[in-house]
Chain A
Amino acid sequence: MKKTKADPKGVLTGAHYLDGDYAIAEGGLAAGCRFFAGYPITPSTETAERFVERIPYVGGVFIQMEDELASITALIGAAWAGKKAMTVTSGPGFSLMMENLGLACMMEVPLVIANVQRGGPSTGLPTYVGQQDMMQAKWGSHGDYEIIALSPDSPQECFDLTVDAFNLSETYRVPVLLMTDECVGHMYEKVVIPPADEIEVVERKWYDGPKDEYLPYKPDEDLVPFMIKAGDGYRFHTTGLTHDERGYPVINAECQNVCVPHLVEKIRQNADKIIRFEEEETDGADVVVVSYGITSRVAIPAVQKAREVGIKVGTLRLITVWPFPEKRIKELAGKIKAFVVPEINYGQVVYEVERCAYGQAPAIHVPHCGGWVHDPEDIFKAIKGAVK
């Protein structure tokens, strides 16, 4: 993994008052993204608007595609042409992207998709918050694959995690999803963008060996194959079909048994390096509140109130949602009475917490079907109920 400093052309150094959507665009530009293909969809459109306003001065391309199917597919093409590429969307567009998210996983193409989640299903609540696509982020495209998903809880983190999303994407040759939500996307806060030489960016793992020995899908030691660009004379082939190290389709169980485990293992075996979360006061806690995105901020008054009434409550905020911090949840489960998992859906990440707890502690869900954030009182009641 080769790290460099950000290209100053894309970095708007300084302290700004930005909403999360704008911060995502700035994060992409800072990370070196020079290709954006997107389709307007509330509540994510501001990211595209910001990018297209800025890109003429930075040098790059923005194209508003005919739909989200085309947007993500164009990203894959641009990535093969050597660009760092991103798009932004929300529920309905995210659903359309699932087809070629699978292609990006299969072709092992780095790209970043931000999903500013709104209430669903279907057209649902275009202008109001939801966190209902979290399982879709993990399982949305057909077949087995592993993916990386991050969840920012503030405009500042929208910037920071978009840079991280590109770095992870380039490191592991995998699409990275920035799973934010309407509240964070439309929330204005101070966003500090550091000088370019303080922003670390990961360069793609370019192949530089002999041309005739290049194999686009031969895993390196870290399981991630080297990449090349279209137009560099390698005359390579890549396909969405099950393929061998040459990228040639091989339609049988033997090849499937190499190709698919590779896609899964390159993330699973590197999970410890990828996973990030933030913990507070979990030592000696009876209850741990597991949350992410806007809900982690809504939970703060509930946690404070619980502490005021003498409940030992800790918090674990997911920054990486996928891969999931299974080991840490399992460790905590052996020490506490219960997890409380508020999220703006009718049960998604809570089931993962429950699975990782291995029956040692219950995971109590605090559901909300979207349109607004939780009343902290509901989270407080769940914490109180957990220690009864």
Chain B
Amino acid sequence: MNEEVLVEETDEELNPAEDYLRLDRFPHIWCSGCGIGTVVRSFIEALQKSKVDLDKVCVVSGIGCTGRVAGYINLDSFHSTHGRAVPFAVGLKLGNPDLKVVVFSGDGDIFGIGGNHFIHTARRNMDIAVICVNNFNYAMTGGQVAATTPIRANLSTAPYGNFEYPFNLPYLAEASGATYVARWTSLHLRRVTKSMQEALTRRGFSFIEVITPCVTLYARRNRLGDGLNLLRYYYDNSEIEHGADTRTLDIDYQDKITVGKFVDKEKPTFLDCMNNYLSEVIGDEYRPYGVK
């Protein structure tokens, strides 16, 4: 192999998303076979395709494996505390309504410790997007049972298997007031990208659940094989059903996963409501906020 070819190969190996990543922080911490990186790749593609002003996009994460996303994305990015990514995002958005604020965090972070923040922010139809990478367990701490763990799945704090009912996240999001709700797996790359694009360009509270493999903990403890085996499971068991009734979207252990876009509706956001209402009741003396 001559030198010229080597140089050419190196060029080809440049990460096509390098402008969007903090490559000076690589290698990242995620295990091989983990789905988080794939979801990040979709997010970057969504940023490219949606043509949003990147200077105005903020990414907020909490704590956990997915909590590390903020650290790798080369935008204004905030690695907050466990469960608090959503209220942090609320502060950013209300502090400067020109910002496009995206929460990128895990199921334990957003729905375990942070569940209360999620439901209230959805209720207000706050104009932010929440991307939840759901790997069915607390992975950063070594694979503990989560609020999303299917019944019978084995984890370190459910060594005989989980017997608690898990959340049905799209149902919870819709019931709380989210105006955009989608669920995919990390196998559905193009569709994840499309949902993210929609979330980046619409107004209101958007929620996207992406089910991903946790090879090192969830899969190993449950003898489900490697990343490829899990993608095969998604391939064989995912059913796309746009507009499905979110009440029907429970996930049983290694059973069918209904994916799709379930909710997409327009409704005034928190700031719309605040400005419209106060303008109406106060009149000309009201100083509308965040309106150009």
**Interface set of A (CB-CB < 8 Å, partner B):** 35, 37, 56-61, 63, 65-67, 69-71, 73-83, 85, 99-100, 102-103, 229-241, 248-249
Most buried by A among B87, B93, B95, B285: B95
Q: List the one stretch of B69-77, B163-171, B197-205 in contact with chain A.
A: B69-77
| Chain A residue at minimum C-beta to C-beta distance from B274 | A61
B interface, how many residues as a size bin?
Answer: 35 or more
Q: Which listed residue, A63, A230, A249, touches B76 by the CB 8 Å rule? A: A230
User: 24 A–B contact pairs at CB < 8 A?
Assistant: A37-B87, A56-B282, A58-B287, A59-B287, A59-B289, A61-B95, A66-B117, A70-B86, A70-B117, A73-B88, A74-B88, A77-B87, A80-B95, A82-B95, A100-B80, A100-B84, A230-B58, A231-B58, A234-B76, A235-B74, A235-B77, A236-B77, A237-B78, A239-B71
Shortest A111–chain B CB gap in Å is 10
Q: B78-115 interface mask toward A, CB cutoff 8 Å, 1 = contact, 0 = none?
A: 11110110111111111110110000000000000000
Enumerate chain A residues within 8 angstroms of B92, measured Cβ to Cβ: 77-78, 80-81, 230
Not counting A60-B289, A69-B117, A230-B78, a sample of 9 additional A-B residue pairs whose C-beta atoms are within 8 angstroms of each other reads A37-B91, A58-B287, A73-B84, A74-B87, A76-B88, A76-B91, A77-B95, A81-B95, A103-B81
Q: Considering only CB atoms, which chain A residue lies closest to B90 in the complex?
A: A74
Contact yes or no, A240 B81, CB < 8 A: yes
Closest Cβ–Cβ distance, residue B39 to chain A (whole Å) = 19
- In the complex, A237 Cα to B72 Cα: how many Å? 9
The reply to whether B90 and A70 form a contact with Cβ atoms under 8 Å apart is yes
Once bound together, how far apart are the Cα atoms of A56 and B277, in whole Å?
11
Q: Does B194 contact A (CB under 8 A)?
A: no
Q: Is the CB of A57 within 8 A of B287?
A: yes
CA of A283 to CA of B6, assembled, Å: 83
Which among A37, A67, A74, A236 has the greatest number of chain B C-beta atoms within 10 A? Answer: A74
B86, B96, B117, most chain A CB atoms within 10 A: B96
- Does B120 interact with chain A (Cβ within 8 Å)? yes
User: B87–A73 contact, CB under 8 A?
Assistant: yes
Binding site for A on B (CB under 8 A): 22, 24-25, 54-56, 58, 60, 70-71, 74-81, 83-84, 86-96, 98-99, 116-117, 120, 270, 274, 278, 282, 285-287, 289
Which chain B residues lie closer than 8 Å to A79 at the CB level?
Answer: 91, 95
CA distance A100 to B85 in the complex (A): 11
Q: How far is the CA of A60 from the CA of B89 in the complex (A)?
A: 17
Question: Which listed residue, B78, B81, B95, B96, touches A238 by the CB 8 Å rule?
Answer: B78
Give chain B residues whose Cβ lies under 8 Å from the Cβ of A76.
Answer: 80, 88, 91
Give the complex CA separation of A103 and B89 in angstroms.
Answer: 14
Pair B120/A231 contact, Cβ less than 8 Å: no
- Interchain CA distance A31-B226 in the complex, whole Å: 57
Cα(A214)–Cα(B58), bound, Å: 18
B22, A240: Cβ atoms closer than 8 Å: no
